[in-house]
Structure 1
C-alpha cells in the first residue's frame, strides 16, 4: 500500500434521521505497525464518520499533537486519536473475534491463510450474527498483514478492486470497509428519510382522467390517445408519485383542459378555424 493521503475539509450536514439501532457490538479498529502518522489520522477520521471510537495501535510511530496524524484526523483529534491505546498483536487475538484485511488473496483453498475471504458487504452480513467483541485489523502500509498474522485471524476481508492494481492506500481501505459496515455501527445519519408515500389511488386515477381529456382536447387520434394514456399509466406505476406531486399535476392539467375547452368555445362562437389537429 502507498501512503499518499490527502487532507480534506469538513463536509456534510448536522441534521440526523433515525435509523434502526445497531444490534451487534461495535468493533474496535486495530492498525498493526503503521508507518505513516497521516494514515492513522485518516483512519481515526473514518472511524468518527462511521460511529466507531476505539482505536488500538500495534507498535505505532510517535503521534505528535501538532503533527500529521492530528492534522488528518478532523474532529477525531478530539477523542478517537488521543484515546488510542497501544497494544500487542497477541492481546488482540486473545481478546477479540478478529477480522483481518488484505488486498492479496489466495486463489483457492491451498492458501489457507488468505482463503476463504469475504468482501466488505459479505462481512457486514456475517458480523450481524457475531455477539462478541470484534476487532477489524489493518496491516502495514507496504506489506499489510503477513501470513503468520493472517493464520491467527478468525476471518479475512478483501475489498474488490481492479485486478492489475488491487492494493489500496491504508486510510482508503479502512474508510471503504467502515462505510460498508455502517449499518452495524451508525444508528442515524445526516441523510433525509428517503421512503416515499404513494399518493391516494383515487387522486392518481383522477389525474389519468384529466390526462385522457387533455389528449382528446389536443386532437390526438384515437389509437395515439390509447397508447399515450397507457404509457402514462406505466410511467406513474413505476414513479410512485407523492400527494404533493400528483396534486401539482392535477392543477396543471385542470387548467390546461379548461383553456383548451375555452379555445374550442371561442373558435365555434366566432366561426374561427380550429388549431391544427395534425
Structure 2
C-alpha cells in the first residue's frame, strides 16, 4: 500500500496545525512533518487536535523543506492557483492525481503558509502540484480544509481502489534518467539557453509519466538505453576533440 507524509511549511497558526493533525487521524494518517513553525507554542494545537494529540507528539520538526522531504518517493505540492511560470512541474487536479496513486510508493503532501502558500522555489522541489477546484468567487481554502479534502480522497482510495499490478518507479531511477538526459543535451551544439529550456521540457515530460505511467522494468530499460546513447556520444566527442575532425 502507498504511504503518506504530511509536510507543513512554516505554518503560522498553532491552531491550524492542530486541526490538520485531527484531520490526519480522522483519515488514518500518522506522519506529520513541520518545517520551521512560525509560532512558539503548540498549546492551541493540542487543544484543536483533541484525540489526535498523539499525531502532534510524534510530529517531526525540520529546518528546511529539503530536509523534510528526504526519503520520500513523490513530492506533492499544493496551491490555490497553479502558475505556468514554473515549467518543470506538473499541475493536476486532485481527482486526477488520486486516480494515479501507486502501491508501494511514498507520497509527501506539502502545504504552504496560510497567508502566502508555497514559493515558486518550493514548488520547483515538487514532482506534482495539486489544485483543488473551488468557486472563482473565493478560491482559497483554509489550510485545514484543504488538507481534509485531500486526506478524505486518500482514505476513499484506500478503501475502494485496488493496488496497481506493476511495480512503481523508485525516485532514484527517475533522477538518474533526468541526469542522463541532461548529459546528452549538454553534448549537443545547441545554444546554452536552448539546452536549459530543453532540459526543463524533458523534466516536465518525464513528470507526466512519473510515477504513475511507467513501470519499474520499463524505466530501467529506458535508463539503460539513455546511458548507452550518452556513452556513445561521449566517445564521439572525445574522438573529435583529439583528432580535430568534424562530426
Which bin holds the TM-score, normalised by the shorter protein?
0.5 to 0.7
Give the superposition deviation at 1:111.
4.2
Partner of 1:62: 40
- Tell me if 1:82 matches 2:49: no
Partner of 1:120: 94
Structure (1 or 2) with the greater helix fraction: 2
Structure 1, unaligned runs of 5 or more: 1-23, 188-278
Against the structure 1 CA distance between its residues 90 and 110, is the aligned structure 2 distance closer, same or farther, given a 3 Å change threshold? closer
Give the superposition deviation at 1:93.
3.5
Q: For residues 1-278 of structure 1, what are the structure 2 equivalents within 5 Å? A: 24-60=1-37, 61-64=39-42, 67-77=43-53, 79-87=54-62, 88-96=64-72, 97-106=74-83, 111-112=86-87, 116-127=90-101, 129=102, 131-185=104-158
TM-score (norm 2): 0.59
Distance in 2, Cα, partners of 1:182 & 1:40: 20
Aligned-pair RMSD on alpha carbons?
1.9
Give the superposition deviation at 1:136.
0.7
Give the superposition deviation at 1:130.
5.3
Distance in 2, Cα, partners of 1:44 & 1:185: 19
Partner of 1:8: none
1:52–1:185 CA contact under 8 A, matched in 2: no
1:32–1:89 CA contact under 8 A, matched in 2: yes
Aligned length: 157
Against the structure 1 CA distance between its residues 33 and 110, is the aligned structure 2 distance closer, same or farther, given a 3 Å change threshold? closer
1:120–1:181 CA contact under 8 A, matched in 2: no
Distance in 2, Cα, partners of 1:75 & 1:185: 22
Against the structure 1 CA distance between its residues 155 and 68, is the aligned structure 2 distance closer, same or farther, given a 3 Å change threshold? same
Against the structure 1 CA distance between its residues 145 and 116, is the aligned structure 2 distance closer, same or farther, given a 3 Å change threshold? same
Moved more, 160-169 or 84-93: 84-93
Partner of 2:207: none
SS in 2 for 1:94: coil
SS in 2 for 1:73: helix
Give the superposition deviation at 1:119.
1.8
Partner of 2:225: none
Structure 2, unaligned runs of 5 or more: 161-247
Distance in 2, Cα, partners of 1:73 & 1:62: 17
Distance in 2, Cα, partners of 1:85 & 1:42: 17
Question: Which string of whole-angstrom CA distances, capped at 9 and with x for unpartnered residues, describes residues 142-187 of structure 1?
Answer: 0101100001101110100111321111111101111111134569
Against the structure 1 CA distance between its residues 173 and 94, is the aligned structure 2 distance closer, same or farther, given a 3 Å change threshold? same
1:93–1:153 CA contact under 8 A, matched in 2: no
Larger Rg: 1
Distance in 1, Cα, partners of 2:26 & 2:110: 18
Structure 1 runs (4+) deviating above 6 angstroms are: none
